[in-house]
Structure 1
Amino acid sequence: MNLQSFQENLQEKGINPSNNQLQQFETYYHTLVEWNEKMNLTAITEKEEVYAKHFFDSVTAAFYFDFTQELHVCDVGAGAGFPSIPLKILFPHLQVTIVDSLRKRITFLNHLASELELEGVSFYHDRAELFGKNEKFRHKFDVVMARAVARTSVLSELCLPLIRTNGMFIAMKGAHMEEELADGKEAIELLGGKIKKIEHFQLPENNGERNILFIDKKRKTPKNFPRKPGVPNKNPL
């Protein structure tokens, strides 16, 4: 997917990036590749693949959810900034908070935000389990997102505690969502969530199958979740 194809595919979905926004994606790509030479940010570095499998993939959530609203979005385990930074570029009014457990990735994201001249972004070096216990952030976000970070049952424990009642959890996944969901339904309900819908689709130009899970936050998460760092992964609900 080249820049023109990226633009055209977005326009087909009703998103019309400005020249400045397209230039921000170009800067994002070059910054990502430059920093990837000194730290492991992504295995995908070929330009057309980055545009398809990182940039466009990140934005697909906006085809099924209204990001034109005033929203405070938290991205858990964003790595090199996916999906929240591409969404922030296209919807600059969003307030974005990113939490990641690796300090070097937070260093990259701070540099990237400066290069892209982004405002309304905050980055935190922390374990998601501890971040979700912090009263400053717990039950505070309108939307929490995670992209291919862990199994749905684990993600739910890390993300649902951060979402305000009537907010939304958006989990962006690859193939085989049905199996994961079967294992994660009880955890989602225990943590105060209710499955709203699943969107299944193919990325353009044969770039793979994707699923996006939308979970409504119906009530506050019980105080004992998330559990201590490492426990959700080792012993999923």
Structure 2
Amino acid sequence: MFEDALARLGLSTDACEKLENLAGQFLENGSLRGVTALKTAEAIHDELILDSLCGVAALPPSGRVIDIGTGGGVPGLVLAIVRPDLDFTLTDSASKKTKWVSEMVAMLGLENVTVETRRLELLGREEGFRESFDVVTAKALASLNVLSEFAVPLLKLGGRLVAYKGPALADEIGEARHALHELGASVHRCHGFQVGSKQTIVCEVEKVRPTPEKYPRRDGVPQKKPLLHP
């Protein structure tokens, strides 16, 4: 049972209620609004809520978190619910998705969340965003080499990208080694979790050097020409 799974995690009553309400909204309206393809309670509970909670231990004791490519608010809304002491920014380039996320923020009364409709290539160059966050989170956004070019410029020195990945992570890390070196980052640690029938690996990438000013590259380039070994 979903409620039992939440209870085992030791979450507050308020957090559990909000997570149940969020899951209910995804089930009732998420597919109609185009923010999730999942249509069953079990899939929503496992793949949107419980899976997002796998990253809680990687959050900082204090500071700013940005969830990039948040889509319907995953994992950002879930993490913001269980860590009301942190400041969260949830961003996506699709206005229909950020409109949904803003509605969920209002419905859930999340005073620690700001929602932005922005392109990541631009965000990583803007004052107030570049090198301004303690943690960047991302789930099902891009391969690690592409994702790193979006995320690492947003991190403070010593900050971490918390990437939700699957069993192919080892291959992604191999392909991302050049990108991480270029961007001033390295893989810190990875933890595996079994959620329902699927395995999730939370990969933490730490920023160890300032990112060169030329990154992120202009719109569309990171995806079309990912940073691979020269």
When the two structures are superposed, what TM-score results if normalisation uses the length of structure 1? Answer: 0.91
Shift of 1:31: 2.0
Partner of 1:86: 78
Q: Which amino acid aligns with 1:210?
A: T
User: Structure 1 residues 188 and 163, CA, compared in 2 at 3 Å: closer, same or farther?
Assistant: same
3-state DSSP of counterpart to 1:212 = strand
* 2:14 paired with 1:24: no
Partner of 1:33: 27
Partner of 1:186: 178
Partner of 1:54: 48
Partner of 2:97: 105
When the two structures are superposed, what TM-score results if normalisation uses the length of structure 2? Answer: 0.94
Residue 204 of structure 2: which of 210, 214, 229 is its match? Answer: 214
Partner of 2:164: 172
Q: After superposition, give the CA deviation of every residue in 1:88-117 in whole Å (9 maximum; x if it has no partner).
A: 111111100011010011100110001000
CA contact (8 A) 1:100 1:124 kept: yes
CA contact (8 A) 2:6 2:16 kept: no
Distance 2:167 2:3 in 1: 26
Q: Which amino acid aligns with 1:171?
A: A
Shift of 1:26: 1.8
Distance 1:83 1:36 in 2: 15
Q: Which amino acid aligns with 1:235?
A: K
User: Structure 1 residues 232 and 43, CA, compared in 2 at 3 Å: closer, same or farther?
Assistant: same
Partner of 1:202: 194
CA contact (8 A) 2:185 2:205 kept: yes
Distance 1:86 1:212 in 2: 15
Shift of 1:201: 2.9
CA contact (8 A) 2:27 2:44 kept: no
CA contact (8 A) 2:35 2:71 kept: yes
Superposed CA RMSD in Å reads 1.4
Structure 2 gaps of 5+ residues are none
Distance 1:40 1:87 in 2: 21
Structure 1 gaps of 5+ residues are 11-15
Distance 2:148 2:141 in 1: 11
Q: Which amino acid aligns with 1:23?
A: E
Distance 1:180 1:3 in 2: 34
Shift of 1:36: 2.2
Residue 130 of structure 1: which of 117, 122, 131 is its match? Answer: 122
Identity of aligned residues (%): 31
Shift of 1:42: 0.9
CA contact (8 A) 1:3 1:51 kept: no
User: Structure 1 residues 155 and 124, CA, compared in 2 at 3 Å: closer, same or farther?
Assistant: same
CA contact (8 A) 1:72 1:142 kept: yes
Shift of 1:165: 0.5
Q: Which amino acid aligns with 2:221?
A: V
CA contact (8 A) 2:145 2:175 kept: yes
